[in-house]
Amino acid sequence: MHTNNPFDSNYKFALLVNAVPELEAYIIPGKFARKSIDFSDPEAVYILNKALLKWKFNVNWTLKEGHLCPAVPGRFDYLLHANDLLSKIEGRRARMLDIGTGA
């Protein structure tokens, strides 16, 4: 993960539950006495990502049922790395192509 990614370590579940209380119902014991969620449960993943956006960026986000849920940490990491690349191009035009291979 990018060094500026706020999601680069264990999730701060107490803060996330404070941001989106419904996340509490999806928290389970993880490895090494850490908390986690069931990442095979699409609803749990959606609520976790909703909490991440609310906690860090104060964004209220919803997703229609049945739609794929983007993983906020990975998408934010992508943007940080793209920003790094673009910041190195001084005085030149840049073109980027996002081929959208996520499905």
pTM strictly above 0.85? no
Enter the DSSP assignment of 4. T
What is the residue whose two structure tokens read 């081929």?
99
Query: Can you read off the two tokens belonging to residue 35?
Result: 């908390």
Query: For 26-74, what is each residue's pLDDT tens digit?
Result: 999 887 768 999 999 999 999 999 999 999 999 999 988 888 888 999 9
CA–CA separation, 96 and 49 (whole Å): 26
Q: Are 36 and 29 in contact (CB under 8 A)?
A: yes
Dist. CA 17–CA 66, nearest whole Å: 24
